Structures are given as structure tokens and as C-alpha cells.
């Protein structure tokens, strides 16, 4: 590799070299001080693994082609908030969790690297996503009211919609996991509703959910884990109240957000709310299958 010639006969004056070294030393000291104080960067780096950042950026880029960058960023952040709800629930129960991985037009998954003790723990983890995800959508709605932003209102309505869909009582959706702790008979109306929804709005995502749901139900019927569903009546009641409260809250949130959207005629609802049809059923799975 060629290097530029050096004029040793005409070195920089000592004073200039001293000032140059001082500037470099100051920059190094400032960088060291910043890195020493910004411990939060380390925490973010530990959580935001490269697969999360890469797949998140890829998903935003793809959605932006359909809905524009502002909506795409907000929508993917809502999915991230949902997944963080699952992660928080797993951490609370002491279940190891992987980093979220985003899948365009399907949502995101977060691997559960351990098996729940029983159906209630599984339902608890399942409820974490919609509970925190609903708070994310509520935050968008509050901002929409404060700023009169039509995009934030559309994000709120979309967030409520996707969390509500994810409460369908069919595994591997969150609602299927919660229904397992209430009554596995709820899976039957869940399949019926999904089949009906498919005829109204044909989508390969709905087919995927139906296939995975049927496979999961068959596996649990064929090889049941002894005592897995033997939870207390109090736990069933708690999960039942949580489940139906979430549904009612999300329906109400959609109605309020829809009213706010209707009061803002400049909103191009067809474009922004197109996410509700293109990614209906986003967050499929919620997390990976537990290890044996």
C-alpha cells in the first residue's frame, strides 16, 4: 500500500503539535466520559440484538413502501411494545426469553426458552402482550387527542385492532393460550370465527393461524402433559376476567379511536388503515414454541 511522502525537513512547529495533541486528548477524554456515563447504551445493546435491529429495520422499510415512513415506524413500534409485554411476563415468571425478531406482514416473535409450569403461566405470558400492547395503542390515542394528529389516531385504531385479533381463542395466538387456562372448549368457537373471517376476508395469514391452531390442539389432545391444566378455580376466574376485560377494552378503544379519526377528515384512512388488512393477524405466534 502506497503512503504519502513525509517532509521530515519541515516538521510542524512545537506549539502547533501541542495544540493538536491537546485537541485529540480532549476528544478522547470527552468520549471516555460519555461512554462512562451512558451505561444505558450497554443495556440497550444487550437487549437489542442484531437480529432484532436488522429485522425491525427491514420491516419498517417494507411497510414504508405501502404506508409511508411515519406510520411504518409507529406501527412497528406498537408491535415491539406488544412483544416487550411478553418478555416482561416471562421475566416475571423466570422463563428465559430470546430477543424479538420481526417478520414482515406477520408481526414478530419472541422465543420462549423454557416451558411454563402450567396452563396458567402460559396464559399469563400470553396476556402480557395484549395488556402492554393495549397501553401502547392508548398512548397513541392520547397523543392524537392532544395534537389532533390523524396519523396517531389511525395508529391507535390499528393497534387496538391487532391486539384484539390476537385475542382470538386459537393457539398459537395469545387468546388461544389464555383460553387454555379458562376452558379449552373456547378453542372451538375460535376456529369457527376464524373460518368465517376467512370467507369474509380471505388471507393466507388466517390459513396459517388455522393450520397452526389445529396442529397445536391435536398435539395437546394426543400427548397431554399430566397436570398441566389442573389449575385452581381462582386462577381460571382471574384469567377469564382478564381475557374478557381485554376484549371489551380493545373494542371500546377502537370505537373511540374511530370516532377521533372520523372527526379529522384530512386523514387518508384507506392508506393508513390499510395495515389492518395487509397485516391482519400480525403478531402470529407471539413467541416460539416452548422447548421440551
Mean pLDDT of the chain: 78
Q: Rounded to whole angstroms, how far apart are CA atoms 284 and 281?
A: 6
What digits encode the pLDDT tens for the residues 68-127?
999 999 999 999 999 999 999 999 999 998 889 998 888 898 888 888 999 999 999 999
pLDDT at residue 230, rounded to an integer: 92
pLDDT at residue 107, rounded to an integer: 87
pLDDT at residue 251, rounded to an integer: 93
pLDDT at residue 172, rounded to an integer: 84
pLDDT at residue 171, rounded to an integer: 86
CA 118 centroid distance within chain: 24
pLDDT at residue 26, rounded to an integer: 43
pTM of the model: 0.73
pLDDT at residue 225, rounded to an integer: 86
What digits encode the pLDDT tens for the residues 32-55?
443 444 444 444 445 445 688 899
Q: Phi first, then psi: what are they for 229, rounded to 5°?
A: -100, 10
Range from 24-33, 82-91, 260-269 that averages highest in pLDDT: 82-91
Residue 29 pLDDT > 70, yes or no? no
Section 172-195 average pLDDT = 93
| Helix, strand, coil distribution of the chain in percent, nearest 5 | 70, 5, 25
What digits encode the pLDDT tens for the residues 196-232?
988 988 888 888 889 989 998 888 888 888 899 999 9
Number of other CB atoms surrounding residue 271 within 10 Å: 13
pLDDT at residue 77, rounded to an integer: 96
Q: How confident is the model at residue 27 (pLDDT cuts 50, 70, 90)?
A: very low
Task: Fill in the DSSP letter of residue 170.
Answer: S
Residue 290 pLDDT > 90, yes or no? no
The partner residues of 102 in beta bridges, in order of sequence, read: 108
Where do we find the cell 384469567?
239
Task: Judge whether 150 and 266 are in contact, CB under 8 Å.
Answer: yes
Class of residue 59 by CB neighbours under 10 A (exposed 0-12, middle 13-18, buried 19+):
buried
Q: How confident is the model at residue 266 (pLDDT cuts 50, 70, 90)?
A: very low
Which segments of the chain are extended strands (E)?
Answer: 101-103, 107-110, 286-287
Spans of all domains in the chain: 49-287
Amino acid at each position: 500500500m502506497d503512503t504519502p511522502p513525509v517532509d521530515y525537513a519541515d516538521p510542524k512547529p512545537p506549539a502547533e503539535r501541542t495544540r493538536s495533541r491537546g485537541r485529540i486528548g480532549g476528544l478522547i477524554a470527552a468520549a471516555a466520559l460519555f461512554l462512562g456515563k451512558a451505561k444505558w447504551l450497554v443495556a440497550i445493546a444487550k437487549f437489542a440484538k442484531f437480529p432484532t435491529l436488522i429485522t425491525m429495520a427491514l420491516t419498517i422499510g417494507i411497510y414504508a413502501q405501502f404506508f409511508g415512513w411515519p406510520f411504518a415506524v409507529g406501527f412497528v413500534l406498537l408491535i415491539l411494545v406488544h412483544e416487550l409485554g411478553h418478555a416482561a411476563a416471562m421475566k416475571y415468571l423466570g422463563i428465559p426469553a430470546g430477543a424479538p425478531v420481526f417478520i414482515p406482514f406477520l408481526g414478530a416473535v419472541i422465543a420462549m426458552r423454557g416451558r411454563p409450569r402450567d396452563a396458567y403461566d402460559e396464559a399469563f405470558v400470553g396476556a402480557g402482550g395484549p395488556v402492554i400492547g393495549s397501553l401502547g395503542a392508548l398512548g397513541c390515542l392520547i397523543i392524537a387527542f392532544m395534537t389532533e394528529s390523524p396519523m396517531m389516531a389511525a395508529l391507535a385504531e390499528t393497534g387496538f385492532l391487532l391486539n384484539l385479533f390476537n385475542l382470538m381463542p386459537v393457539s398459537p395466538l395469545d387468546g388461544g393460550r389464555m383460553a387454555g387456562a379458562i376452558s379449552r372448549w373456547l378453542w372451538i368457537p375460535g376456529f369457527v370465527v376464524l373460518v368465517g373471517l376467512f370467507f369474509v376476508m380471505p388471507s393466507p395469514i388466517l390459513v396459517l393461524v388455522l393450520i397452526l391452531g389445529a396442529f397445536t390442539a391435536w398435539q395437546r389432545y394426543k400427548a397431554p402433559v399430566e397436570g398441566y391444566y389442573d389449575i385452581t378455580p381462582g386462577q381460571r376466574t382471574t384469567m377469564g376476567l382478564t381475557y374478557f376485560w381485554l376484549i371489551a377494552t380493545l373494542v371500546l378503544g377502537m370505537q373511540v379511536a374511530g370516532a377521533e379519526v372520523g372527526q379529522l377528515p384530512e386523514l387518508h384512512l384507506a392508506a393508513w388503515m390499510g395495515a389492518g388488512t395487509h397485516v391482519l393477524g400480525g403478531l402470529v405466534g407471539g413467541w416460539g414454541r416452548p422447548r421440551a
